[in-house]
């Protein structure tokens, strides 16, 4: 898309400034009162021609400026006539969505997904259905676009740098994104988090007071951390690493210890799921230099324990599990913990689940690991303590780890029963980390004690089918 936009502009002999002028004019001609000024549009063009990611609203402005039909927009446009286009739910839906084409015989937009629309194969992976409903997508896009445009317009007209109203909205966005990361499909969460990050980028282009810039850097560090963890769940660890390191740069710029600790925990997690246990171990240890109490410190201790167990350092792993529980139970509060959600305030259930995972990799501690994991599942079922929120993958991961422990003791029936609730997880929530852990289950099923067992073969087949329908399988099959 980025290359296509650039080529279309250059083919017409327009500079980026001229392109910005024409887009602003196109927006105003159709009554788009939230279209930015020419300088703001120029900033957008630089970004779109570098990264793509253009919204549906601005795609239509481009079509007007270029003098083309919406079906001809983009590198994969069909170029079919207007009568081959399926309109939105109604004419009243407004130009921002109702004019978005769905070319005949081509995959439709996926309902519930923000900019950019994904192909239908991704929709199948997310929704578990083959007939996405465009109306749901269009209505959600209309409502959210109106809300976002209102916030952007208000921010542009606040005086004296960045007003408190804008900061209040950004803080509220961060709290909402933390909960979205826990509860929604990871791609939805990723795209919405990127939208908020782009808004912060635009605010940083202003002339700011040092305090305002520091506040925005703190928000950017948190947002990049959330994007990193969702990218990892989608099966893109390299992108996750880059995003989290970007957040680290902002944390360093404002010398924010808790944010440094948080981002070290996130990066340590990414390394662990890649099998880079030494790096995960060292990053967790480094993060503990910045804070030693509270939920983030507990997460760092648990990452340290999990990595140490995989490296064979069993004493360190056991000791780190004890330190994690003590850190989680400490009376501690900072501005990150106040945000809430698993990514900023690790719940007691997930603390026990990760402790059980570490102990499960110390093979001599099967009963202790099972006790931690069963306690975690019980806490997930109870809904957590007041103020806690559980992420959707917490209980399935704990169940998968418990099944590993059960198989090691030869309890195939118990493992199959434990995995029943895991293997019915919706495709949208079958994240890469869960697939990695289920691979450990399949390894245990190859043990000599299960040789010739039809039940073991059936369980292995169920896991294979689960992986085929996972969100990562749907996304990674797409081109481009």
The helix/strand/coil state of 85 is strand
Contact 405, 386 (CB under 8 A): no
CA distance 302 to 281: 10
- Which of 307, 339, 336 is CA-nearest to residue 324? 307
Q: Residue 79: its pLDDT value, please?
A: 54
What pLDDT score was predicted for residue 8?
92
Tell me the HSE value of 45 on the side-chain side, using a 13 A CA sphere.
26
Cis geometry, peptide bond prior to residue 368 (ω within 30 degrees of 0): no
Nearest alpha carbon to residue 392 among 185, 98, 120, 254: 185
CA atoms within 13 A on the CB side of 202: 24
DSSP state of 403: H
Q: Of the candidates 426, 444, 387, 385, which has an alpha carbon nearest to the alpha carbon of residue 127?
A: 426
End-to-end Cα, the chain, rounded Å? 10
Strand partners, 85: 103
Tokens of 97: 């969505």
Q: With H, G, I as helix, E, B as strand and everything else as coil, classify residue 244.
A: helix
Residue 454, Cβ density class (10 Å: 0-12 exposed, 13-18 middle, ≥19 buried): exposed
Q: In angstroms, how far apart are the furthest CA atoms of the chain?
A: 74
CATH code, 257-391: 1.25.40.10
pLDDT at 70: 85
Whole-number pLDDT of residue 152: 55
Pinpoint the alpha helices (H) of 52-108: 56-66, 95-98
Q: What does each of the 480 residues of the chain score in pLDDT, given as a tens digit?
A: 989 999 999 899 888 888 999 999 998 888 777 778 887 788 789 888 888 888 878 888 999 999 998 888 888 876 544 443 333 333 333 333 333 333 333 333 333 333 333 333 333 333 333 333 334 444 555 555 555 555 555 545 444 457 788 889 999 999 999 999 998 889 889 999 999 999 999 898 888 888 899 999 999 999 999 999 999 999 999 999 999 999 999 999 999 999 999 999 999 999 999 999 999 999 999 999 999 999 999 999 999 999 999 999 999 999 999 999 999 999 898 889 999 899 999 999 999 999 999 999 887 668 999 999 999 999 999 986 777 889 899 999 999 999 999 999 999 999 999 999 899 888 888 889 999 999 999 999 999 999 999 999 999 999 998 888 776 655 555 554
DSSP state, 26? H
Contact (Cβ atoms closer than 8 angstroms) between residue 473 and residue 431: no
Give the Å distances, CA to CA, from 381 to 138, 184, 358: 35, 18, 22
DSSP string covering 172-199, please? HHHHHHHHHHHHS-HHHHHHHHHHHHHH
Residues 52-67 as b or e (16 or more Cβ within 10 Å = b): bbbbbbbbbbbbbbbe
d(CA 152, CA 173): 13
How far, in Å, CA of 214 to CA of 301, rounded?
A: 28
Angle, vertex CA 358, rays to CA 353 and CA 363, nearest 5: 120
Question: How far apart are the C-alpha atoms of 138 and 264, rounded to whole Å?
Answer: 39
Nearest to 142 by CA among 100, 184, 94, 176: 94
Domain boundaries, the chain: 1-86, 159-255, 257-391, 401-480
Pick from 220, 297, 229: nearest CA to 252: 220
Q: If we measure between CA atoms, which residue out of 117, 3, 2, 11 comes closest to residue 66?
A: 11
Buried b (16+ CB within 10 A) or exposed e, 88-118: bbeeebbbbbbbbbbbeeebbbbbbbbbebb
- The helix/strand/coil state of 103 is strand
């Amino acid at each position: 898309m980025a290359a296509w936009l650039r080529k279309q502009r250059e083919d017409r002999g327009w500079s980026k400034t001229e392109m910005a002028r024409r887009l602003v004019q196109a927006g105003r001609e159709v009554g788009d009162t939230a279209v930015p000024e020419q300088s703001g549009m120029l900033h957008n063009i630089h970004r779109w021609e570098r990264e793509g990611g253009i919204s549906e609203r601005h795609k239509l402005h481009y079509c007007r400026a270029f003098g083309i039909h919406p079906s001809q927009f983009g590198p994969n446009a069909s170029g079919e006539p207007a009568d081959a286009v399926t309109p939105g739910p109604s004419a009243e839906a407004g130009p921002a969505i109702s004019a978005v084409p769905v070319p005949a015989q081509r995959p439709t937009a996926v309902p519930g997904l923000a900019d950019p629309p994904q192909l239908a194969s991704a929709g199948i992976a997310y929704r578990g259905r083959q007939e996405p409903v465009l109306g749901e997508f269009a209505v959600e896009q209309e409502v959210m676009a109106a809300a976002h445009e209102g916030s952007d317009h208000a921010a542009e007209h606040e005086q004296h740098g960045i007003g408190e109203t804008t900061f209040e909205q950004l803080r509220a966005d961060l709290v909402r994104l933390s909960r979205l990361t826990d509860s929604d499909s990871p791609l939805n969460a990723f795209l919405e988090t990127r939208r908020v990050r782009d808004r912060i980028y635009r605010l940083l282009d202003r002339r700011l007071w040092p305090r305002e810039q520091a506040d925005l850097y703190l928000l950017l560090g948190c947002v990049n951390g959330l994007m990193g963890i969702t990218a990892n769940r989608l099966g893109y660890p390299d992108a996750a690493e880059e995003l989290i390191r970007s957040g680290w740069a902002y944390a360093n710029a404002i010398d924010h210890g808790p944010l440094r600790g948080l981002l070290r925990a996130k990066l340590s997690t990414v390394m662990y799921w890649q099998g880079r246990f030494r790096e995960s171990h060292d990053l967790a240890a480094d993060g503990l230099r910045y804070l030693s109490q509270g939920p983030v410190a507990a997460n760092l201790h648990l990452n340290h324990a999990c990595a140490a167990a995989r490296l064979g350092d069993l004493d360190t792993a056991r000791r780190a599990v004890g330190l994690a529980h003590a850190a989680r139970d400490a009376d501690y509060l900072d501005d990150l913990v106040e945000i809430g959600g698993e990514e900023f305030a690790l719940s007691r259930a997930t603390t026990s689940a990760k402790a059980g995972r570490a102990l499960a990799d110390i093979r001599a501690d099967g009963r202790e690991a099972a006790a931690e994991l069963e306690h975690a599942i019980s806490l997930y079922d109870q809904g957590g303590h007041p103020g806690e929120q559980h992420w959707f993958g917490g209980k399935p991961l704990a169940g998968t780890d418990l099944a590993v422990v059960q198989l090691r003791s030869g309890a195939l029936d118990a493992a199959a029963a434990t995995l029943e609730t895991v293997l019915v997880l919706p495709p949208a929530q079958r994240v890469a980390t869960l697939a990695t852990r289920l691979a450990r289950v399949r390894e245990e099923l190859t043990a000599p004690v299960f040789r010739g067992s039809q039940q073991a073969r059936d369980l292995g087949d169920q896991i294979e089918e689960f992986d085929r329908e996972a969100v990562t399988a749907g996304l990674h099959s797409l081109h481009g």
